[in-house]
């Protein structure tokens, strides 16, 4: 599959969304250096060779457990033995917690975009597949948590993206139908979750798309900068 290409500018899609939901990893924050670093610390402790950052970037996006399985098997579709995961996953959690934001970086425009969405009176939240033990500490350390309410992590509800439940949960909490919200993400999980509940979805071209051509996937728009979210939302 070919990777995402540069987006047309400005996007022709427009929405009067009253609530905007953002994915975390690959959308607001480039967390790959610390995620892969934790994988390599785990692999080192298990006596296994490290994985390359650029290779492992393509493994991010389906939750921490899947990332660990891919690192252990060196296979996107790999499934590690349950006994190995019982040792490896807690080890990964410990390694990642120790270096949660050592090398992670905000994507350009993240703070400004959240602040301006909030300033227009719209609700702004975060829905991620990242475990809750990591989500809020990372958002707080990167200065984003004050703009986001609610923050829904991958283990907060019985199901996570690509199931629509987290998006429906937030829309319901806001008292809005999904059609009056907007999801900004980077992956097929974001796309499928939004489409399943009728929520408009915009994908960023710089995130963890796992090699998919985002234009062929068919979101409402593909953008190459978070700042372009503000061009998509009609004035309140």
| Catalytic positions, written as ranges | 23
CA 138, chain centre distance (Å): 13
The closest of 67, 48, 11 to 221, measured between CA atoms, is 11
- Whether 29 and 135 have beta carbons less than 8 Å apart is answered as no
- Whether 43 and 71 have beta carbons less than 8 Å apart is answered as yes
Ramachandran region of residue 122, left (φ > 0), alpha (ψ -120 to 50) or beta?
beta
What's the DSSP call for residue 38?
A: H
């Amino acid at each position: 599959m070919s990777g995402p290409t540069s987006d047309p500018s400005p996007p022709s899609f427009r929405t009067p969304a009253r609530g905007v939901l953002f994915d975390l990893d690959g959308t607001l924050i480039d967390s790959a250096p610390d995620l892969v670093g934790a994988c390599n610390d785990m692999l080192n402790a298990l006596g296994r060779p490290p994985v390359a950052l650029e290779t492992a970037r393509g493994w991010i996006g389906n939750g921490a457990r899947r990332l660990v399985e891919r690192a252990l098997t060196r296979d996107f579709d790999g499934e590690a033995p349950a006994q190995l995961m019982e040792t490896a996953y807690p080890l990964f959690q410990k390694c990642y917690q120790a270096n949660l934001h050592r090398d992670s970086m905000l994507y350009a425009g993240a703070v400004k975009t959240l602040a301006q969405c909030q300033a227009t009176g719209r609700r702004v939240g975060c829905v991620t597949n990242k475990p809750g033990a990591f989500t809020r500490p990372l958002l707080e350390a990167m200065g984003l948590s004050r703009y986001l309410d609610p923050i829904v992590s991958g283990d907060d509800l019985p199901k996570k993206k690509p199931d629509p439940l987290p998006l429906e949960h937030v829309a319901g909490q806001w008292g809005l139908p999904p059609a009056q919200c907007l999801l900004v993400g980077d992956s097929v999980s974001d796309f499928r979750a939004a489409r399943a509940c009728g929520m408009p979805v915009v994908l960023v071209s710089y995130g963890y798309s796992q090699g998919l051509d985002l234009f062929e996937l068919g979101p409402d728009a593909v953008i190459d900068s978070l700042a372009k979210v503000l061009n998509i939302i009609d004035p309140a």
